[in-house]
Amino acid sequence: MSSAADIALLPDAGPLISLAYADMLDLLFKPGWTVMLVDMVVHEVTRNQTPTSAKIADWIAARNVPVLSTRTYQHYQQARQATITTGAPPRKAHLGELAIQERMNEFALLAPPKVGVFLFEDHKIARASFLLPDNCRKISTRAFLIFLEQKKWIKSATEINRRAILAGRKFSGLRFPSD
Q: What's the CATH number where 114 sits?
A: 3.40.50
Residue 172 lies in a domain: no
Is 102:130 a contact under the CB 8 Å cutoff?
no
Start-end of H helices in the chain: 13-21, 39-46, 53-62, 71-86, 95-109, 123-127, 141-150, 157-166
Residue 145 lies in a domain: yes
Residue 177 lies in a domain: no
Residue 153 lies in a domain: yes
Q: What is the mean pLDDT of residues 68-87?
A: 87
Q: How confident is the model at residue 125 (pLDDT cuts 50, 70, 90)?
A: low
Total structural domains in the chain? Answer: 1
Residue 175 lies in a domain: no
Residue 15 lies in a domain: yes
Which residues constitute the domain of residue 23?
A: 4-166
Residue 66 lies in a domain: yes
Q: How confident is the model at residue 80 (pLDDT cuts 50, 70, 90)?
A: confident
Q: How confident is the model at residue 179 (pLDDT cuts 50, 70, 90)?
A: very low
User: What would the pLDDT profile of 1-25 be if each residue is shown by its tens digit?
Assistant: 567 778 999 999 999 999 999 999 9
**Whole-number percent of the chain with pLDDT over 90:** 64
What global pTM score does this model have? 0.88
